[in-house]
């Protein structure tokens, strides 16, 4: 770890020298300043770390003193310093890990009903409410981009944007198949059913991050439809985009104008294409990584919501909460924190830090 830190400190000093020599080249100055700002927190934390190590070394030398009172003071200081140093080491290791440049971005989430008919659609609506409540607790904003409601109060699919700093860094762990076990409101005999919904989490990307040639897109317009499939507008305002090279289809109909629906559909399409490219790069590094969302079958699950037992279990980390009502109101930080900790530990091991 210290070798990595020394390399960063050396680069930090180089950047300071380059900034003094850059002159009137403002673009170059901006690039150097951005790079320096990215590593400056590591340099500052490393300085604190070295001070603590020096204090520990001094305290250990005092342990050899003939003065018993001095030895006791040294032992007390060592007991205080060692946990501080351990905590500082973990912080530095975390800071040395490569950052996902998408972490600070807004999030586009897609929830689709899987196995289970109407009950799966109702569960999809419950998940949308859960994530909306979670976003609200973080001070983030939620905007529905596209939805396909069914008559029983559920969604066959819903696509929505969550705007907020660091939204992707928290919600990226929610991708996968979610399973619910409960008695559906449509069940007259009180039997417990199992249904699923798939969740996909995409980072919102800008035009400059991914270019889509116009020739690669087929645009179809049609009349917007409401719950149950009835047309709700006389004009053709809904937009369907088909990305010809990949076959990806995106449609938006919730806005009042064709232009607004096209803008939103393009935003979703860019996020999907960006995710495909990022996933391809990930696979080149780690061929064993699984894709975000499977087929929606009951067996491909990341989390189970068991209503009779008031239990929510995340199968990736074998962690359960027995306060299902709170979870469904957005209290999912306990799962996300544990997943983030596990992810960081795996990345530290892989990086050999």
Q: Which of 35, 64, 96 is where one domain is finished?
A: 96
Spell out the SS3 assignment of 220-254.
EEECCECHHHCECCCCCCEEEEEECCCCEEEEECC
**Cβ partners under 8 Å of residue 325, min gap 6:** 310
Q: What angle do CA 161, 296, 146 make, to 5 degrees?
A: 25
The β-bridge partners of 199 are: 111, 176
Residues 107/202, Cβ–Cβ less than 8 Å: yes
CATH classification at residue 144: 3.30.70.1660
CA–CA distance from 212 to each of 173, 242, 259, 274, 304 (Å)?
A: 28, 12, 17, 11, 38
In a domain, 101, yes or no: no
313 shares a domain with 292: yes
| pLDDT tens digits along 277-332 | 877 766 654 543 344 444 444 446 899 999 999 999 999 999 999 999 999 999 99
| pLDDT tens digits along 88-122 | 988 898 888 877 788 888 999 999 999 999 999 99
Residue 337 host element (H or E): helix 333-351
223 shares a domain with 188: yes
Strand order in the sheet with 248-252: 217-222, 238-243, 248-252
Phi, psi dihedral angles at 105 (to 5 degrees): -80, 165
198 shares a domain with 217: yes
In a domain, 352, yes or no: no
Q: What is the distance between the alpha carbons of residues 239 and 259, in angstroms, rounded to a whole number? A: 9
pLDDT mean over 233-251: 84
Domain tally, the chain: 2
295 shares a domain with 231: yes
Q: Which of 31, 62, 96 is where one domain is finished?
A: 96
pLDDT at 286: 52
Residue 269: CB atoms within 10 A of its CB come to 21
Containing structural domain, residue 339: 107-345
**Cβ partners under 8 Å of residue 34, min gap 6:** none
In a domain, 122, yes or no: yes
Phi, psi dihedral angles at 39 (to 5 degrees): -100, -10
**Cβ partners under 8 Å of residue 213, min gap 6:** none
pLDDT at 295: 42
In a domain, 351, yes or no: no
Q: Which of 34-38, 53-57, 298-302, 305-309 has the lowest mean pLDDT?
A: 298-302
168 shares a domain with 304: yes
246 shares a domain with 151: yes
Residues 111/24, Cβ–Cβ less than 8 Å: no
DSSP 38-63: HHHHHHHHHHHHHHHHHHHHHHHHHT
pLDDT at 296: 44
Indicate the length of the chain as a whole number: 353
Residue 106, helix vs strand vs coil: coil
Dihedral sign from CA coordinates of 208, 209, 213, 216: negative
289 φψ region: left (φ > 0), alpha (ψ -120 to 50), beta (else): beta
pTM of the predicted protein model: 0.71
Torsion of CA 294, 296, 300, 304, to 10 degrees: 130
pLDDT classification of 243: cutoffs 50, 70, 90: very high
């Amino acid at each position: 770890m210290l070798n990595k830190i020394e390399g960063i400190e050396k680069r930090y000093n180089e950047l300071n020298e380059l900034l003094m020599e850059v002159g009137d080249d403002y673009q170059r100055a901006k690039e150097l300043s951005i790079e320096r700002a990215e590593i400056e927190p590591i340099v500052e934390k490393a300085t604190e770390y070295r001070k603590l190590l020096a204090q520990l070394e001094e305290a250990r030398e005092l342990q050899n003193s003939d003065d018993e009172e001095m030895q006791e003071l040294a032992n007390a200081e060592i007991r205080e310093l060692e946990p501080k140093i351990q905590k500082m080491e973990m912080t530095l290791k975390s800071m040395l890990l490569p950052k996902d440049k998408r972490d600070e971005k807004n999030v586009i989430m897609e929830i689709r009903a899987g196995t289970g008919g109407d009950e799966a659609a109702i569960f999809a609506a419950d998940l949308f409410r859960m994530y909306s409540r979670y976003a609200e607790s973080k001070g983030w904003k939620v905007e529905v981009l596209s939805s396909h409601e069914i008559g029983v109060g559920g969604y066959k699919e819903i696509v929505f944007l969550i705007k907020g700093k660091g939204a992707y860094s928290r919600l990226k762990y929610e991708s996968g198949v979610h399973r619910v076990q409960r008695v559906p409101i449509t069940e007259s005999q009180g039997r417990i059913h199992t249904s699923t919904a798939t969740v996909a989490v995409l980072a919102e990307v800008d035009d400059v991050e991914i270019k889509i040639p116009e020739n690669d897109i087929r645009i179809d317009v049609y009349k917007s439809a409401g719950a149950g499939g009835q047309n709700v507008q006389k004009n053709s305002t809904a937009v369907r985009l088909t990305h010809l090279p990949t076959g990806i289809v995106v449609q938006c109909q919730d806005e009042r104008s064709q232009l607004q629906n096209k803008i939103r559909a393009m935003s979703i399409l860019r996020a999907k294409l960006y995710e495909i490219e990022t996933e391809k790069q990930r696979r080149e590094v780690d061929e064993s990584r699984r894709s975000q969302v499977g087929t929606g079958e009951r067996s491909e699950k990341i989390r189970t919501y068991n209503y009779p037992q008031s239990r929510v279990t995340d199968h990736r980390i074998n962690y359960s909460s027995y306060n299902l009502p709170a979870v469904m109101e957005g209290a999912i930080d306990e799962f996300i924190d544990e997943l983030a900790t596990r992810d960081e530990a795996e990345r530290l091991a892989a990086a050999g830090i």
